[in-house]
Amino acid sequence: MRLIVLISLMGQISLVKKLKKYRGEMIILTVAFIIGLASTIVYLGSNSEESENFKEVPQSTSNPSKILVDVSGSVNKPDLYEASNYTRLKEIIKKAGGLSETADKNFFGRNFNLARIINDQEKIYIPSVWEVSNGYFIESQQTLNYSSPAEIPLTGTREGLVNINKASLEELDKLPGVGKIIGQKIIEARPFKALQELIDKKVVGKNVYENLKDLIQI
């Protein structure tokens, strides 16, 4: 019996010596385990918070209910205007106080579609009579639905061309880029001995003249 107890004590003493021998390694392993466990807990906690935050972010809409439109030029109240989706040009012009006295209403009527739906961040500029008459804004024949000179009212001796020395204000008004204002200037500057006098007398700008020269005669 004593022998058994003695053997047991010797075994325990040997185990203690071994534990003391590897105590440093055990401490390092224990610390590493604790650090690893703590890191895992922190990581799982942060992921959970990020997941909750992600769920709280509202979904952005691809079709905002409001749009912004920049309206300037010959309107009574040029400014940046807020409108709802599917707003027509007519409504935007009304918000801007309508066309001003300087606006070229004939040009506007021929080139702007009041039924058109306005887009977000769009720029709308209404030209004045002076800007149109000086060639800053040019109408194309396609805009006026003139597919050939023959569609213009006949005046003078050459078929299909408008005689600027004889044409009425209504006939001149139908020419691209002219309108009633420039048409009246043409009438007051008569008679013309050459088409070039439209520029020499400063009745029209060069760009307007280039659009007219193949449609008129003297």
Question: pTM (2 decimals)?
Answer: 0.40
What are the structure tokens assigned to 45, written together? Answer: 């906690």
Residue 144 has pLDDT above 60, yes or no: no
Q: What confidence tens digit (pLDDT) does each residue in 71-130 have?
A: 999 999 999 999 998 899 999 999 999 999 999 988 898 888 999 998 888 999 999 988
Residue among 189, 156, 162 at smallest CA distance from 176: 162
Q: How many residues in the chain?
A: 218
Helix (H, G, I), strand (E, B) or coil at 151: helix
What confidence score (pLDDT) does residue 155 get? 39
Q: What confidence tens digit (pLDDT) does each residue in 96-109 have?
A: 999 999 999 888 98
Local structure of residue 62 (DSSP, 8 states): S
